[in-house]
Amino acid sequence: MRFLVLVFITSVISISAKVPPAQPNFVLIMADNLGYGDIGPFGSKLHRTPNLDRMAREGRRLTSFYSASGVCTPSRAALMTGCYPRRVGLDWTPEDGHVLRPVSPNGLNPNETTIAEILNKAGYATACIGKWHLGDQPAFLPTRQGFDYFLGLPYSDDMTRATGQRIGERLRGNQWPWLPWMENEKVIEAPADRNQMTQRETTAALKFIAANKSRPFFLYLPHNMPGSSREPFSSRQFRGKSRNGAWGDVVEELDWAAGQILAALKKHKIDERTLVIWTSDNGAPRRNPPQGSNAPLGGWGYTTAEGGMRVPAIVRWKGFIPAGSTSDELTTLMDILPTFAKLAGISLSDVPRDGRNIWPVLSPRSAKSPHKHFFYYHTRYLEAVRDSRWKLYFPKKHPKIPKKSEKYALFDLKKDVSESKNMAWRYPEIVKRLSAAAVWARKELGDGDQKGTRIRELGWQPQPVPQKK
């Protein structure tokens, strides 16, 4: 036992002494609507995820990693800009609601500086392969937001005029184009073959890695699956093979895709200069019957419950992140931009951003979170706030409490991630302290009709046109 402890300490010291290479590669893989408990490293016994299991053994699990929203568009806006969605105007729009729709005049403002633009200007090759969902008009597409190459969908896979899709049924889907599969700014297939999306995305990602193995690159691989359709889509290779129906088939195909990426990095001998992050854009949504799992967290995607915004995350960088380690420090999707910039040696402008450099958290230093608080917004409304331990829902905001309730709900996230034991009555001083912390968010970012003092405009494209082949 003493020998094993000595070996572990020696290995950590060895890793700590290594200096990360200048301009490392970055690979960010993100599933769509995949839950916290859907993969093996986060407790799933239902889905086979050997590649993600191995990635966790070779890297670090982040068990308190958050998206900045429980839904797609705001979450992705936060990732691209390092800001709360409310700050960049993509928390909610009158025309679209909580996520952008096809043929929308809205999108990520081209004046925003994205993570791709920051890296591209520093000499990085950049690619977005998969789901974009930050505007389908030309000015908003990935190729106008810092990416050299784009292949995939401009929005969610259920946003199509195809019959049987729940979004289309509710929101005049017959006026939308057939689901457009795009390369750069051109539709190359409509309707897109959803069964082959994960395969196509993976093939394109492997080609991008091979083509850029000798230069720094940023590969953003936001898979379209599990997606938002009633039943997710997988290729024939995986269809019907899991123990959890179509949802399980998709999860296991995504695991295969991750394995292909890791194998390619090893094949090209660049895995020691490539930081890989695997995560999800938000929690699994409620379905009947249930498919995705957010266990042991409480609640579902599209909400501010832990199950809606706390997502699985694994980080791997051979030789620089301790293997088989776990961090429960508060970290977020917004932190990726400043972290990548720091590692790439890039100085950021003083434009207000909410993300922080979390490399000290990921590295062998295992530092504390740079965040004192995290704010949970649902569309335009601030519903909750947390610190390193406690989460406070404001009156009428908790999903499990009747809307007419005037009570606060306080949960100890170190002991109660299911959010089942309201402790507000017992700790009024914590309720008061967290309520005071929310004053900053309401002033800076706003809340409901209260406009924040430091928010920016979303992008606007008059007379939008559909993406058609």
E strand or H helix at 326: strand 325-327
Residues paired with residue 77 on neighbouring β-strands, in sequence order: none
274-339-34 Cα angle (round to 5): 75
* Closest by Cα among 96, 108, 176 to 141: 108
Give buried/exposed letters for 129-164 (b at 16+ CB in 10 A, else e): bbbbbbbbbeebbbbbbbbbbbbbbbbbbbbbbbee
Question: Residue 67 CA to chain centroid, in angstroms?
Answer: 5
Contact indicator for 357, 342 with CB cutoff of 8 Å:
yes
Q: Which two tokens stand for residue 235?
A: 């290729």
Contact indicator for 54, 316 with CB cutoff of 8 Å:
no
Instruction: Give 389's contacts (C-beta < 8 A, 6+ positions apart).
Output: 412, 413, 414
First to last CA, the chain: 64
Maximum Cα interatomic distance, the chain, rounded to a whole number of Å: 70
Which residue in the block uniquely carries the two structure tokens 């928390």? 91
Active-site positions? Answer: 72, 133
